[in-house]
Structure 1
């Protein structure tokens, strides 16, 4: 475990040397971590919203997909709880209390609801889940080997929660534990008690990140794909190997630290794996949309959410890494009725997902990235990406070429990467030529 903690200490020290990061980079990082944590923590508990649908809901307050109303409610409520945890963590003198924890449970579960349950003698039943208070019925989990693991009893829960708060306050005052160890142990101890009828995993992960944020560390995101390893680490802790769980959490924190350093350096923080997953999910939806062979509002809307949104976001991220070489940067976005300076993908997303936008009349959208007054040389450069919407196909053009596809065909990750690389390499070559002239 000590080697793992030493490694994250090194990553943390490297990150601190890059701080404070530029405000626009901090905004991108905060958005990424917010979406990742909300999506993965809820997805791990069975919420079926995709990453893209989570972004649409939390950033633009719009819904997409055929999910239950409760799934949308709980995703938004979890985001509210995360914001509250950040607020608590920002106040270094504010103590953590049992009332705080109950409040988080009330927020994330929204309101009482009925849930399938099993009686102690194995009979199926339904039970009303109350929110914001400790459990009224015993809870347990069936392990992979078929064994039943019982959590704290109903009578013991208030006592154990009081002891947990005393332990946390004592450790916080002593400052002997590594912040990551303190965060992981608080998470583990709360899971062992399982004080609520529902929401215990989400509450544990929220409180773990409360400790990290309060100690100025980035939050840890346990990806839903890691669920089996995560539960295995918890099981090992139950068997007495608690250090293994601390080590596991520290290893997951490496991702947040490396992502934060990338953001501070102005590098792209988009991840190909997540991008490909979203593309494959949306591609399946597009394939069954009727009428996508011809230009229509439905076709353009679907393409934007399937791939064009990510294409433009990745294009802007790639060029933003060159900002540090220039004294001036300007982004111009044009589409019918709009000419935005220093536009964002978020503002474009609103246009493409607003019900009364006349997408069927859209002929093209263009994004121009202007870099001016290069340091020491005064050189200006620019790159343009244009998407044309023709009657039976759409095309993307950059300075060095382009690609054309039918409306029922989306750009895959390789095509997107190729387009962006060609555009970036074209500008990079011109920059190198200018540097060469200046040094000759």
Structure 2
């Protein structure tokens, strides 16, 4: 009798997860993340007002991007008006408004659970999903009781009767994982959406659970951006085939970017500035520095459509690559 596909996949990934000598994240990227984490930890406790501003910003951008990835048409500014001013946006559906307010409430709840270092279990998973889909799905917060097919997917999610067993296995593996937290968070995210335990809203729930796992381990939340949805889904498809490395690096880059944002609150040389301003203090043009940022050689983040970096990051780039470029 042939072994079910999902069982073969689970065995292969679980075997990888059990091997603590396996590192999926690029060495240079992981070193940069570790260095930033060390710097962030040295800044703790972060002033409450600064933490509050960071929370509000992450809450807004996470809500906007997570919903936009799923097809919500509210813009970032419209999402801000819905969340902060409780306004109704003309021409937008009730569902889109609910998706915005629900996701923001779920983000707040996720943050509360992370502060308490709560381990991820069935209760938390279903609670997060219930908040995200409240007033939208009839079965909000309840595992699906029917089989479904995802448009464009190579294979269908597991039979609904296997969900509780598969989720038990996932919860146990996450609890026992000795891997780097970012690798474990990546595994959690992918395996969750592959099991597809709910009839809808799995992507939104997965992104919140990923952040719950990371924040509980003192990492900043990650924002998976709408502009990167192509890379997001491509790396998830690679993980479907048993190769988690692209997705782990995708998540790691998101962690790296938000660490840069968190460190910028200290000001000084870590303050984020547009590359146009920073370029005046280098031998390079704004366009050239933007290219190096896209290549990942210059530590920078894109805010809106504009690349930002810091004097600290530019100085580091010049010390490591300056002579080669001139």
Is TM (by shorter chain) over 0.5? yes
Larger displacement relative to structure 2 (155-164 or 56-65) = 56-65
Task: Give the deviation of 1:26 after TM superposition.
Answer: 2.5
Matched, 1:57 2:57: no
CA shift at 1:160, angstroms? 0.5
Higher relative contact order (CA 8 A, sep 6+): 2
Task: Name the one with the larger helix percent.
Answer: 2
- CA change 1:189–1:32 in 2 (3 A) is same
2:150 aligns with: 141
Shift of 1:170: 1.9
CA distance in 1, matches of 2:175, 2:70: 29
Contact 1:77 1:110 in 2 (8 A): yes
Find 2:253's aligned residue among 238, 251, 254: 251
The 1:269–1:164 alpha-carbon spacing in structure 2 relative to 1, beyond 3 Å, is: farther
**How many angstroms does 1:269 deviate by?**
8.2
| Alignment partner, residue 274 of structure 1 | 304
Matches within 5 A, 1:84-233: 84-92=109-117, 94-111=118-135, 113=137, 130-143=139-152, 148-171=154-177, 176-233=178-235
Alpha-carbon offset, residue 11 of structure 1: 1.9
How far did residue 242 of structure 1 move?
A: 1.0
The answer (yes or no) to whether the contact 1:157–1:193 under 8 Å persists in 2 is yes
Show the counterpart of 1:5. 30
TM-score normalised according to structure 2 size: 0.72
Shift of residue 272, structure 1, vs aligned partner: 7.1
Decide whether aligned partners of structure 1 residues 169 and 21 sit closer, same or farther in structure 2, where only a CA change above 3 A counts.
closer
CA contact (8 A) 1:111 1:130 kept: no
Cα 1:275–1:58, aligned 2, differ >3 Å: closer, same or farther?
farther
Structure 1 residues 213 and 269: alpha-carbon distance in aligned structure 2, compared to 1, 3 A threshold: farther
Q: CA deviation at 1:268?
A: 5.5
- Bigger shift: 101-110 or 18-27? 18-27
Q: Give the secondary-structure state (helix, strand or coil) at the position aligned to 1:40.
A: helix
For structure 2, the residue ranges without an aligned partner over 5 or more in a row are 1-24, 275-300, 307-326
The equivalent residue for 1:413 is: none
Alignment partner, residue 402 of structure 1: none
Q: In structure 2, how many angstroms separate the alpha carbons of the residues matched to 1:60 and 1:169?
A: 39
Q: CA deviation at 1:35?
A: 0.8
Between structure 1 and structure 2, the one with the greater Rg is 1
5+ residue gaps, structure 1: 114-128, 277-440
Give 1:188 deviation, angstroms. Answer: 1.0
Counterpart for residue 21 of structure 1:
46
Question: In the aligned structure 2, how far is the partner of 1:209 from the partner of 1:269?
Answer: 27
Whether the 8 Å CA contact 2:98–2:136 is kept in 1: the answer is no
| Cα distance, 1:142–1:51 mapped onto 2, change above 3 Å | same
Where 1:216 maps in the other structure, the secondary structure is coil
Q: Compute the displacement of 1:130 (Å).
A: 2.1
Q: 1:236 to 1:68 in 2, by over 3 A?
A: same
Deviations 1:134-159 (A, max 9, x none): 1122223343xxx6321111111111
In 2: Cα distance, 1:57 partner to 1:236 partner = 36
* Partner Cα separation in structure 2 for residue 269 and residue 214 of structure 1: 30
CA RMSD after TM alignment = 2.1
Task: Point out the structure with the larger strand share.
Answer: 1
2:150 counterpart SS class? strand
- Is the Cα contact below 8 Å between 2:95 and 2:136 reproduced in 1? no
- Number of residue pairs the alignment of both structures matches: 253
Decide whether the 8 Å contact of 1:105 with 1:199 is kept in 2: yes
Partner Cα separation in structure 2 for residue 63 and residue 263 of structure 1? 32
> Contact 1:44–1:224 at 8 Å: present in 2 too?
yes
**Contact 1:11–1:257 at 8 Å: present in 2 too?**
yes
The correspondence of residues 73-88 of structure 1 with structure 2, limited to 5 A, is 73-88=98-113
Q: Does the CA contact (< 8 Å) of 2:182 and 2:252 recur in 1?
A: yes
SS at match of 2:97: helix
